[in-house]
Amino acid sequence: MSRITVVYLGGFGRSGSTLVERTLGAARGWVNVGELVDLARSVARTDELCGCGRPFSACPVWTAVGELAFGGWTVDVLDRLTCLQRAAARQRHLPGLLGSRRAPSAALTDLRVAYARIYAAVAEVTGSEVVVDASKGPAFGQALAGAPGIDLRMLNVVRDPRAVAWSWNRRVERPHATTGTEQMWRIPAHRAAAQWSSLQLEMEAIARLGGARSARLRYEDFVLDPIGSLVTAAATLGVPLSRADLPSVEGGRIVLLPSHGLAGNPARFSSGALELRRDDGWTTQMSSRDRAVVAALTLPLLRTYGYPVTSGGAAPVSDRRTDMRSLT
Ligand SMILES: [Zn+2]
CATH of residue 107's domain is 3.40.50.300
In a domain, residue 208? The reply is yes
What pLDDT is attached to residue 180? 66
Of residues 274 and 174, more confidence is placed in: 274
Give 184-240 pLDDT, tens digit per residue: 778 899 999 999 999 999 999 999 999 999 999 999 999 999 999 999 999 999 999
| pLDDT given for residue 245 in this prediction | 96
Contact predicate 311/295, CB 8 Å: yes
Average per-residue pLDDT in the chain? 90
Q: How confident is the model at residue 163 (pLDDT cuts 50, 70, 90)?
A: very high
The mean pLDDT of 153-160, rounded to a whole number, is: 97
Tell me the pairing of strands 150-158 and 4-10. Answer: parallel
Q: Which domain holds residue 144?
A: 4-323
Instruction: Specify the number of domains making up the chain.
Output: 1
pLDDT at 89: 94
In the reported structure, the alpha carbon of residue 36 is separated from the centroid of ligand 1 by a whole-number distance in angstroms of: 13
Please give the pLDDT value at position 312: 54
Provide the whole-model pTM. 0.92
Model confidence band, residue 327 (pLDDT cutoffs 50, 70, 90): very low
Compute, in angstroms, the gap from residue 278 CA to the centroid of ligand 1.
28
- Percent of the chain predicted with pLDDT > 70: 91
Non-local (6+) Cβ contacts of 113 within 8 A are 147, 148
DSSP states along 110-165: HHHHHHHHHHHHHHHHHT-SEEEEEEE-HHHHHHHTT-TTEEEEEEEEE--HHHHH
Beta bridge partners of 5: 130, 151
Q: How many angstroms does the Cα of residue 202 sit away from the middle of ligand 1?
A: 31
CA–centroid distance, 261 to ligand 1, in Å, is 7
Which pLDDT score, from 0 to 100, does residue 323 have? Answer: 37
Centre of ligand 1 from the C-alpha of residue 236, in Å: 30
For residue 127, report the distance from its CA to the centre of ligand 1, in Å.
Answer: 15
CA atoms within 13 A on the CB side of 274: 23
CA of 50 to the centre of ligand 1 (A): 5
Q: How wide is the angle at C-alpha 134 spanned by C-alphas 193 and 296, nearest 5°? A: 10
What is the distance of C-alpha 210 from the center of its chain?
Answer: 17
Rounded to whole angstroms, the Cα distance separating 151 from 238 reads 11
Q: How far is the CA of 119 from the centre of ligand 1 (A)?
A: 15
- Alpha-carbon distance of 144 to 122, in angstroms, equals 15
Ligand 1 centroid to residue 249 C-alpha, Å? 24
Collapsing DSSP to helix, strand or coil, 254 comes out as strand
Single-letter residue type at 55: P
Q: Is residue 328 part of a domain?
A: no
